[in-house]
Structure 1
Amino acid sequence: MSSFEPALCSVTFRKLTPEKIVELSLDAGLAAIEWAGDAHVPLGDTMIATHVARLSRKAGFATSYGSYVAPPTADLAVFRRALETAIALDASNIRIWPGTRERASSDYNADERRSTVDAIRDMATEAARSGLTVALEYHPLSLTENTDSARRLIDAIAHSNVYLYWQPRPGLALDDALAEIAEIGAHVSHVHVFAWNSTRNRFSLKTASAYWRTVFSAMPASRWTGRRFAMLEFVVDDDPLALLDDAATLRQILKA
């Protein structure tokens, strides 16, 4: 049985209210919600964050803050606003983007990578003071867009409060996915789960059941010691009914 619990990234349903997302997540049998900083819990809006925290807490959901803070473009002052928001949200974790968004890792010189490392390390220290962890998005066009860059980044940061997410690039072959998690899995806290092909067409998670079952079975032990979440992110046609179907599939995968 996987150590991961099923969860949702709220960005999956940008147009739905937090109330509806909580209701839907309850129906889907999920355990946690990562609330999107560009949709449901805006950066710095602690009033909304407090409201969403109440909704989540009443429903029994753990929470994470899916921020779009992207160091070093975003500095420590911006991160402090995200941290304040995450605290109001009662979140235990803040997701940030490593490097300027939509910029390939190959475009960075040594000084730019060093600036990113220093910024993330400072943010992690700040978060630790408030008891929150920091996790780096694992995403194309970032400093975690491939395993080599991600590993060099996390090794350079060398901070006990910084972890990696993991998700497959759209269309990533299973053998390549297994190679990635073997390389960086010891740093992985949470995983984003979806079924896309290389042209970003979306499919039911049922079509990728064997893929994800193999991934979770092969996930190595991690230095992360908290609850681990497999977060569903995006569904066919942005349809809430598709989430219910994918969540049922994910629960079965995680029980295997």
Structure 2
Amino acid sequence: MSNFEPGLCTVTFRKMPAARIVDLAAEARLVAIEWAGDVHVPPGDMAAARSTARLCERNHLTISYGSYVAPPTDELSVFMGALETAIALGASNIRIWPGTRGRDSRDYGAGERRAVADAIRDMGAEAARHDVTVSLEYHPQSLTDTTESARRLIEAIAEDNVYLYWQPRPGLKLDEALTEVAHIGQHVSHVHVFAWDRNRNRFPLASAADYWRTILATFPVSRWTRRRFAMLEFVTNDDPAALLEDAATLERILNR
């Protein structure tokens, strides 16, 4: 049995209003939502943050904030604005992007990597003062676009309050995925769950149920000690009905 609980990333439904997303998450029996900072709860929009927090509270949904802060392109002052929004939202975790978005890790020099690590360390320390954790997106064209680069970065940051996410690159084979999580799993807070092929075509999660069941059941012990979420992302055809089907599959995968 996995220790992950089921959640949803709202980037899955960019055009859907927050209230409808919360209703859908409740119908799908999800327990957490990661709100997109580029559409549903923009940084600095305290009214949206507070109203969304109330919606989630009424439905007993734990909250994460999916920001698009990307140090060192974005400095500490930008992060502080996103953190303030996360606090108003009632988020216990804030996601950020490591390094300039759209830039491969191989293009960074040693000095640039140190600058990113230093910036993220400062962000993690500030968030800790408010009991908010910081997690780094694990994504192509970032400083976490390879497992080795991600490991080097998190070890260079060396801040107890900073963690990694994990998600498979589209089309990643199971044996490679297991190697990745074995390598960095001790630093992982949450995961993003989807079923894509290498061409980014989307499929029902049921088609990858064995893949995800194996990964989530064998995830290494992590230094993360809070509730842990496997968050659905980008369902087939952006269809709410597809989310309900995927959520049912995820519940079976997690043996809940």
Identify the TM-score tier after normalising by the shorter chain.
over 0.9
Q: Give matches, 1:102-181, under 5 Å.
A: 102-181=102-181
Normalised to the residue count of structure 1, the TM-score between the two structures is 0.99
Cα distance, 1:47 vs. partner?
1.1
Identity of aligned residues (%): 66
Cα distance, 1:39 vs. partner?
1.1
Q: Give matches, 1:6-155, under 5 Å.
A: 6-155=6-155
Give the unaligned 5+ runs of structure 2: none
| Corresponding residue for residue 219 of structure 2 | 219
Cα distance, 1:217 vs. partner?
1.5
Q: Give per-residue Cα distances to partners, 1:58-87, cap 9 Å, x unaligned.
A: 110000000000000000000000000000
Cα distance, 1:145 vs. partner?
0.5
Q: Matches of 2:212 and 2:165 in 1, distance apart?
A: 15
4+ long deviations beyond 6 Å: none
Give the unaligned 5+ runs of structure 1: none
Question: Which secondary structure does the structure 2 equivalent of 1:255 belong to?
Answer: coil
| Corresponding residue for residue 242 of structure 1 | 242
- Calculate the aligned-residue CA RMSD, in Å: 0.6
Normalised to the residue count of structure 2, the TM-score between the two structures is 0.99
Question: Which secondary structure does the structure 2 equivalent of 1:219 belong to?
Answer: coil
Q: Matches of 1:218 and 1:243 in 2, distance apart?
A: 25
Q: Matches of 2:22 and 2:16 in 1, distance apart?
A: 10
1:2 matched to 2:17? The reply is no
Q: Matches of 1:213 and 1:131 in 2, distance apart?
A: 31
Q: Matches of 1:25 and 1:100 in 2, distance apart?
A: 32
| Corresponding residue for residue 182 of structure 2 | 182
Q: Matches of 2:118 and 2:216 in 1, distance apart?
A: 32
Q: Matches of 1:201 and 1:34 in 2, distance apart?
A: 23
Cα distance, 1:167 vs. partner?
0.2
State how many pairs are aligned: 256
Q: Matches of 1:109 and 1:47 in 2, distance apart?
A: 41
Q: Give per-residue Cα distances to partners, 1:73-119, cap 9 Å, x unaligned.
A: 00000000000000000000000000000100001011110110000
